[in-house]
Amino acid sequence: MTGCRILYHHRIRADDGQAVHVRELIGALREEGHDVLECALVQKAGVAASPGADAHARRNGSLWNRLRLPRGAIELLEIAYGPQGARRLRLAAADFRPDFVYERHALHCDAGLRAARSLGVPLLLEVNSPLVDEMQALGALRFPRRARRTEHAVLAGADIVFAVTGVLRDLCVGLGARAARTVVVPNGAVPERYDDAARAAGRALRSRLSIAADDFVLGFVGFMRPWHRLDLAVEMLLRPELRALHLVLVGEGPARADVAAAAVRAGVSSRVHAIGAVDAGELPGCVCAFDAALIPAINRYASPLKLFDSLAAGVPTICPRQANLEELVIDDRNAVLFAPGDADALRAATARLVLDRAAARRIGAQGRADLLTNDWTWRGNARRVIAAYRRLVADMAVPR
């Protein structure tokens, strides 16, 4: 079966978890034999939509990031981007002739829908969060009715909607997406990266941090925010039964300084290691340095990248017992779950693994096995996207 020609559109500028998702999925689609053309203000996968677009995108993205505009002005730019983005997509499609447009959903953005309808091809929409709800909860939305109208139009108009969790799928359907064409495609990992070289890098990291072989490393990866409550992890270090516990923090964020200060106040700073942000190529080694990974808090609809990395590494994850995570993990099988926001439950979950290293290894190994069995990989996700598209084409060919 011949590969598909995919016009991939997104509006992200930051080089964060969103960019990881874009790069990994585009790479996986290409590895599966499909031709993907990225069309974006700032390229994330290294292929421009037109000659010179890379430099143009870098200039635009850099300028946008330097601007300190009021929130209302930013939203007006986002609204104006819809027709401009659609024009960019149509120009990119002129020579490329895509089978479909794939768009990462963005606030106020209907560029993909406009372009797909103009080109006469399907729109496949990826949704990672209920953006209007998020911005309203933060009190940061200046044009809520306009945002809600666009959200509904795009969700209702998309030929297929991909939601990263079942919880988010239900939210999307409630916001206008067609239930029969709304598919759950979670995040993923590349298990081949968690190999002997990554494990050796993990041992080297522990050595650099002066962490003994019989100490227990609890690791956190991500942008540290106050609501993550990493202070609870610091407090655990004071417990006598957890005297072998070290906390390794990978990433930056506004809560990093607070965590470091809490460690100093508690007298455990020698067991809290904040190593900062690392390149993507270094991440497998960092995760392999962990004896367990920590997700102290997460919103109710997310599909956290860090969970898939831990599963791929064979490292058990300690995470909240909530529906979006329980779509993937089961307590004492491939993770250890605790009641969200319960400091005592978090401490007990951590102690289970620190005091029973065999159980930690068993849970970690089962997690990797489950990831492989369920194909929670980026190439698996690429196959899910293409399978959904082919089902759509088959359905459209059936006489009604």
Q: What is the pLDDT of residues 103-128, one digit of tens each?
A: 999 999 999 999 999 999 999 999 99
| pLDDT > 90: percent of the chain | 89
List the strands of the sheet with 100-104, edge to edge. 35-40, 5-10, 100-104, 123-127, 160-163, 182-184
Condensed to tens digits (0 to 9), the pLDDT of residues 68-78 reads 789 999 999 99
CA distance 12 to 28: 19
Provide the whole-model pTM. Answer: 0.92
> Considering only CA atoms, which of 218, 204, 225, 230 is closest in space to residue 282?
204
Q: Which of 26-30, 63-67, 89-93 has the lowest mean pLDDT?
A: 63-67
CA distance 23 to 381: 13
Give me the count of residues in the chain.
Answer: 400
CB 312 within 8 A of CB 283: no
Please tell me the predicted confidence (pLDDT) of residue 55: 35
CA angle centred on 52, ends 51 and 57, rounded to 5°: 125
* Number of separate helices (H) and strands (E) present in the chain: 16, 12
**Residue 170 structure tokens:** 């239900």
- CB within 8 Å of 51: residues ≥ 6 apart: none
CA distance 395 to 57: 38
Please tell me the predicted confidence (pLDDT) of residue 397: 85
Question: Is the pLDDT confidence value at 67 over 80?
Answer: no
**Residue 105 structure tokens:** 């959903």
- CB within 8 Å of 268: residues ≥ 6 apart: 234, 237, 238
Neighbour tally for 55: CB within 10 Å: 11
How confident is the prediction for the chain on average, in pLDDT? 93
Question: Is the pLDDT confidence value at 56 over 90?
Answer: no
Q: Where in the chain is the domain with CATH 3.40.50.2000?
A: 5-188+377-397, 192-374
**Residue 252 structure tokens:** 């930056």
Q: What is the mean pLDDT of residues 388-397?
A: 95
Class of domain 5-188+377-397: alpha beta
List the strands of the sheet with 336-338, edge to edge. 272-276, 245-250, 216-221, 292-294, 317-320, 336-338
Please tell me the predicted confidence (pLDDT) of residue 69: 85
Condensed to tens digits (0 to 9), the pLDDT of residues 246-263 reads 999 999 999 999 999 999
Please tell me the predicted confidence (pLDDT) of residue 17: 82
CA distance 104 to 23: 12
The correct answer on CATH 1.10.10.60 for the domain covering 192-374 is no
